[in-house]
Structure 1
Amino acid sequence: MHLHFTPRQIVEKLDQYIIGQKDAKKAVAVALRNRYRRSKLAENLRDEIAPKNILMIGPTGVGKTEVARRMAKLVGAPFIKVEATKFTEVGYVGRDVESMVRDLVETSVRIVKEEMVVKVQDKAEEQANQRLVEILVPSPEKQSGFKNPLEMLFGGAQNSNQTSDTQEDVEIEKKRQDMERKLAAGLLEEEIVSIEVTEQQSSMFDMLQGTGMEQMGMNFQDALGSFMPKKTKKRKLSVKEARKLLTNEEAQRLIDMDETRVINILL
C-alpha cells in the first residue's frame, strides 16, 4: 500500500469525483489511513491492532462503488466488482467463491506489471527502434570466405570477395546510422514497413474457464502457454504504429514475470 495523504487530503481527493456523502468519505479516509499506519508498525505491535474493514450500505446510485474504486486507485490496490447472486451456490448456477480471490490476484499482478512496463519503457523503445532499423536496412547475410567447404578443412585460401564484403558492411553501417538519426528525428513516421508481430493466444483457455473449469483452481493458459508455440504474422503498418507494437513486445520480453509475482506478494 502506497499512501502519503492525511484523511483530510483523502477526502479532498474524493470530493473531486464524488458529490455529497461527506460522512462516508470521512469514515473511509480514517479507516484507510489507520490501516496504512498499522502496516508501518513493528510485527509484534501489528498483531495487537485489528484493521478496520468497511461495509457501505445504501440504495443504487449513491456512490458506494465509486468511493471504493477511487480509494483503490488512490493507494494502487486491486479492485473488482462482483455480483452476490453469482456466488450463491457452487453448482448449477453458482460460481466458486475462490474465483473472487483469483480475480483480485490477477488484477494486482496486472497493476504491478503495468508499473514494471513503465520502468522498462525507454529500453523497450530503444530496442524497438533497433528492430525498425534492421527492417528498413537489413544486415547482409554473412557468407563463408571459402568457395569450397573442403578448403576450410585443408587450409585453402579465402575468397577474394572478403575485401568487397568489408566495404559493403561499412556502407550499410553508414546507412543504418543515417536511418537511426531519421527515426530519432521522427522523419519516417508515415513510412510503411512490413513487420512480424506475435499473435494473441486463442481464447480457448478463457472459454474453458468460463464453463466451470475455474473451480479446479488452475490457470490453463499459464500451465500450457509455455508449451504452445507462439505464432507470428506479417503486418504492414506505418513506422509510428509499428514502433508501438514492437515497443510493447520488447517490454513484455524485458519484464520478469516471476519477479512481478514476488513483488505482488510482498505488496
Structure 2
Amino acid sequence: MIGPTGVGKTEIARRMAKIVGAPFIKVEATKFTEVGYVGRDVESMVRDLVDVAVRLVKEQKKLLVEDEAREKANEKLVKLLVPSMKKKANQNNNPLESLFGGAMPNFGQNSDEEEEAPTEEIKTKRSEIKQQLLNGQLEEEKVRIKVEQDPGAMGMLGTNQNQQMQDMMNQLLPKKKVEREVPVKTARKILADEFADELIDQESANQEAIELAEQMGIIFIDEIDKVATNNQNSGQDVSRQGVQRDILPILEGSMIQTKYGTVSTEHMLFYWCWCIPCC
C-alpha cells in the first residue's frame, strides 16, 4: 500500500481484519533491529500477533460461559456481603517457599481462608441479599475483593530471552493478590472475568489461537521504505540491511517459536506500507 501519511492505509487494513475476525497488528519496520543489536528482533511481530489471536479466541470463549461465570460471581458477592466465620486454610507446600521464605515472610501466603459452614441465620440473610443483588439494588454497595496481580516484568535481558525467562518465572512464582474496595457492579465484572478464565480450557484456546494466527493473521508493516536502503547508505543505519534479511524468511514462510507453541508464517498476510511525498 502506497500513499501519503494520514490517508488511511492502516485503517483500511484494520477494518478489513475486524470484518473477517482476523488477528491484526501494526508494526513499524524502523523499530526492529538486526539480531545481535539492542532492540526488538523481527520475530517479535509474530509473537505479538499470536498474543492478539489468543485474546480474540478467549474473548469468544468467554461469551459462551458468560452466564455461568456471572452466576458464580453473584454467589461470590453474596458471600462477601454476608461473610461467615473464617478459619485458616492449610497452606500448600511450595518448593520455592523454603528458598524465599526467610527473605519474604509473605511468600506463598496467597491461599484464601476457608469458610466454615454457614449458620441458618447467615443462610437466610444471604438469600435476602441474593434477591436484592439480582434486582440491582446493591450495585453501588462497596465490597472488598482480592485481585490477582501479575509479577512485574524483568528488563535486564534481551527481548526474546527476557520474554522466555519472564514466562518461566510467572509459572513458578505464585501470583500476588491485592485487596481492593470497589462497587458491586465493578466487582461482578472482575469476578466474572476470573471465573470465565477458570471455565475456559486454556490449552484448547491457545491451540485455536495458533491456528487462527497461522491461517488468518494479518501483519501490517509500516515505514518499510525507511529500511529498504541500498548498500551506499551506511553509518547509523548499520542494522537496516540485517532487518531486511531477517524479515524475508518470515515472509516466505518460517517456523517461529512463541510461548504458546511453534507458529508457521506460511499463510499469514503481510501488508507492506510506505509513504510517498505529496506533490
* TM-score, structure 2 normalization: 0.59
The residue that corresponds to 2:78 in the other structure is 133
Matches within 5 A, 1:148-167: none
Structure 1 residue aligned with 2:67:
122
Query: Residue 104 of structure 1 is aligned with which of 49, 52, 58?
Result: 49
Deviation at 1:88, TM superposition (A): 5.0
In the alignment, what sits opposite 2:28?
A: 83
SS state at 1:237 partner: strand
Q: 1:189 aligns to what?
A: 139
- Distance in 1 (CA, whole Å) between partners of 2:201 and 2:166 is 17
Larger strand proportion, structure 1 or 2?
A: 2
Q: State the number of aligned residues.
A: 184
Is 2:116 aligned against 1:170? no
Question: 1:86 is matched by which residue type in structure 2?
Answer: K
**Cα displacement string for residues 164-222 of structure 1 (whole angstroms, at most 9, x for unaligned residues):** xx9x83332221111111100011112122222222332x23x35xx6332x4953343
> Which structure has more helix as a fraction of its residues?
1
Letter in 2 for 1:101: V
The alpha-carbon deviation at position 140 of structure 1 amounts to: 4.6
Taking only the aligned residue pairs, the percentage that are identical comes to 54
More RCO (CA 8 Å, sep 6+): 2
C-alpha deviations, 1:110-141, integer Å up to 9, x for none? 11111112222211111111111111122356
Change in 2 beyond 3 A, CA 1:266/1:84: closer
In 2: Cα distance, 1:112 partner to 1:187 partner: 34
Moved >4 Å (runs of 4+):
none
Alignment of 1:230-249 (within 5 A): 230-249=175-194
Structure 1 unmatched runs, 5+: 1-55, 143-165
Once residues 103 and 228 of structure 1 are traced to their aligned partners in structure 2, the CA distance between those partners, rounded to angstroms, is 24
What secondary structure is seen at the aligned counterpart in 2 of 1:177? helix
Q: How far does the alpha carbon of each residue in 1:231-262 deviate from its partner, in whole angstroms, 9 at most, with x for none? A: 11222222122212212222222222211111
In structure 1, what residue type is equivalent to 2:127? Q
Output the amino acid matched with 2:56: I
1: distance between equivalents of 2:22 and 2:51? 12
**Aligned: 1:212 with 2:162:** no
TM-superposed CA distance for 1:95, in Å, is 3.1
- In the superposition, the TM-score normalised over structure 1's length comes to 0.62
> One-letter code of the match for 1:193?
V
> How do 1:58-77 residues align onto structure 2 when only pairs under 5 Å count?
58-77=3-22
Quote the offset at 1:93 in angstroms: 5.1
Residue number in structure 2 paired with 1:153: none
Code of the residue aligned with 1:76 in structure 2: it is G
Query: How do residues 44-55 of structure 1 correspond to structure 2 at under 5 angstroms?
Result: none
Structure 2 contact 33–41 (Cα < 8 Å) conserved:
no
Describe the superposition over 1:41-63 as per-residue Cα deviations: whole angstroms up to 9, x where unpaired: xxxxxxxxxxxxxxx12222222
Q: CA RMSD in A?
A: 2.5
Q: Could you tell me which amino acid in structure 2 is paired with residue 196 of structure 1?
A: K
Equivalents in 2 of 1:87, 1:236: separation in Å?
42
